[in-house]
């Protein structure tokens, strides 16, 4: 399985679609063959990497392998679009801490290039591997991921330090990338994509550093990583469907209909993945409950209502079964 094949936020596909529409395509043309609708891009919690990859292929097939196409999509990333992973970067004590956290939890992003952090004399090399990408969309996705990295970096610190970027892109792609990285030396036609960061840069404090918030964000990243990487295929789609409407008591029949399966087929395919509808639903409720109680600060009654329980007592009983603590004790802890 390629390193990029993991469930992900629909934001990457959404920005690719927006780019296609800005270039004259329709939403249906951008999403042809993905199994996604425009509504899914706004409401789904997770989509499959293959669906985003197909979206990129649709753009290249209809528009051509145009230099700058990926940069246009990547420039639309903000800290808000990458969720708690982005805030873990934002609140990191130093550049070095931000880079390490970003690499550790990259599977919470929509990246197709695979990051690796290497140490060199007096500097660190953030290598972004593209060897597993299909050739027809390699340029698009490398551009997109490098431009997204640039967009996030410039949000972390307004003035870029003395860094260098190498990329496998040809000169036209380098020129497009230079529009979002003014003043940064970018060398095209290189054997790999990397960002060279001197040790002096790695030790630089970030302006919005907050170690308490950073620790909280890292814990949330770890929890999300554990839940999102456990499920793939049909199991991931069931989880995404449940996350899209947590306030409703969505039944297995409804999920099966939405996935164009009969209920026996869905049950068998989930069993093949080592899980069940009941287990996925309990995990979704547990994850959301922990987030709402511990981070958002909602009351037990509010969480109970948002998760579709008949009353707070029923929710409290379920929460105690999941965590070993009643929700009120969890909040105090």
Question: Where in the chain are the domains?
Answer: 11-202, 231-332
Q: Round to whole Å and give the CA distance between 234 and 317.
A: 29
| 3-state class (DSSP) for residue 137 | helix
Q: What is the DSSP letter of 65?
A: S
Do the beta carbons of residue 163 and residue 184 sit within 8 Å?
Answer: yes
> Which pLDDT belongs to residue 311?
84
What CATH fold (topology level) applies to the domain 231-332?
Arc Repressor Mutant, subunit A (1.10.10)
Of 152, 140, 178, 141, give the one whose Cα is nearest residue 90.
152
Of 121, 117, 120, give the one whose Cα is nearest residue 96.
117
> Which pLDDT belongs to residue 283?
81
**Structural tokens at position 234:** 């049909």
The full length of the chain comes to: 333
Do the beta carbons of residue 174 and residue 184 sit within 8 Å?
Answer: no
> Which pLDDT belongs to residue 321?
83
In tens digits, the chain (333 residues) has pLDDT values of 688 888 888 999 999 999 999 999 999 999 999 999 999 898 887 888 899 999 999 999 999 999 999 999 999 988 778 888 988 998 999 988 998 999 888 888 999 999 988 888 888 899 999 999 999 999 999 999 999 988 887 777 667 667 789 999 999 999 999 998 887 889 999 999 999 888 888 888 988 899 999 998 888 888 877 666 555 567 777 877 787 667 677 888 888 888 888 888 888 888 876 778 888 888 888 877 877 776 556 788 888 888 888 888 888 888 888 777 888 877 776
- Helical axes 11-22 vs 49-63, angle rounded to 10°: 10
For the structural domain made of 11-202, what CATH number should be given? 3.90.1520
Residue found under tokens 């591997």: 129
> Which pLDDT belongs to residue 146?
94
CA 300 to chain centre: 29
- pTM for the whole thing? 0.69
Q: Round to whole Å and give the CA distance between 30 and 37.
A: 10
The H or E element spanning position 40 is helix 38-43
> Which pLDDT belongs to residue 1?
61
Using alpha carbons only, give the angle 206, 130, 84 rounded to the nearest 5 degrees. Answer: 35
The H or E element spanning position 118 is strand 114-120
Do the beta carbons of residue 331 and residue 323 sit within 8 Å?
Answer: no
């Amino acid at each position: 399985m390629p390193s990029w094949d993991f469930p992900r936020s629909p934001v990457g596909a959404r920005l690719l679609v927006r780019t296609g529409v800005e270039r004259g395509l329709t939403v249906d043309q951008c999403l042809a063959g993905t199994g996604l609708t425009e509504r899914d891009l706004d409401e789904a919690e997770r989509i499959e990497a293959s669906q985003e990859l197909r979206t990129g292929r649709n753009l290249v097939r209809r528009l051509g392998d145009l230099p700058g196409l990926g940069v246009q999509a990547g420039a639309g990333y903000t800290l808000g679009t990458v969720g708690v992973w982005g805030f873990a970067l934002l609140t990191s004590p130093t550049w070095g801490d931000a880079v390490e956290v970003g690499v550790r939890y990259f599977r919470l992003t929509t990246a197709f290039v695979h990051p690796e952090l290497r140490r060199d004399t007096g500097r660190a090399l953030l290598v972004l591997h593209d060897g597993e990408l299909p050739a027809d969309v390699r340029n698009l996705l490398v551009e997109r991921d490098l431009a997204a990295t640039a967009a996030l970096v410039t949000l972390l610190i307004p003035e870029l330090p003395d860094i260098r970027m190498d990329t496998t892109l040809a000169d036209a792609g380098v020129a497009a990338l230079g529009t979002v990285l003014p003043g940064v030396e970018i060398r095209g036609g290189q054997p790999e994509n990397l960002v060279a960061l001197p040790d002096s840069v790695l030790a630089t404090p970030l302006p919005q550093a907050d170690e308490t918030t950073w620790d909280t964000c890292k814990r949330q990243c770890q929890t999300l990583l554990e839940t999102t990487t456990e499920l793939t295929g049909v199991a991931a789609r069931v989880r995404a469907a449940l996350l899209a409407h947590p306030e409703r008591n969505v039944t297995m029949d409804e999920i099966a209909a939405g996935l164009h399966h009969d209920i026996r087929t869905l049950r068998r395919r989930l069993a093949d993945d080592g899980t069940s509808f009941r287990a996925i639903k309990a995990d979704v409720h547990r994850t959301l409950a922990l987030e709402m109680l511990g981070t958002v600060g909602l009351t037990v009654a509010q969480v109970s209502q948002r998760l579709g329980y008949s009353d707070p007592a029923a929710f409290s009983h379920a929460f105690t079964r999941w965590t070993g603590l009643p929700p009120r004790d969890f909040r105090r802890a």
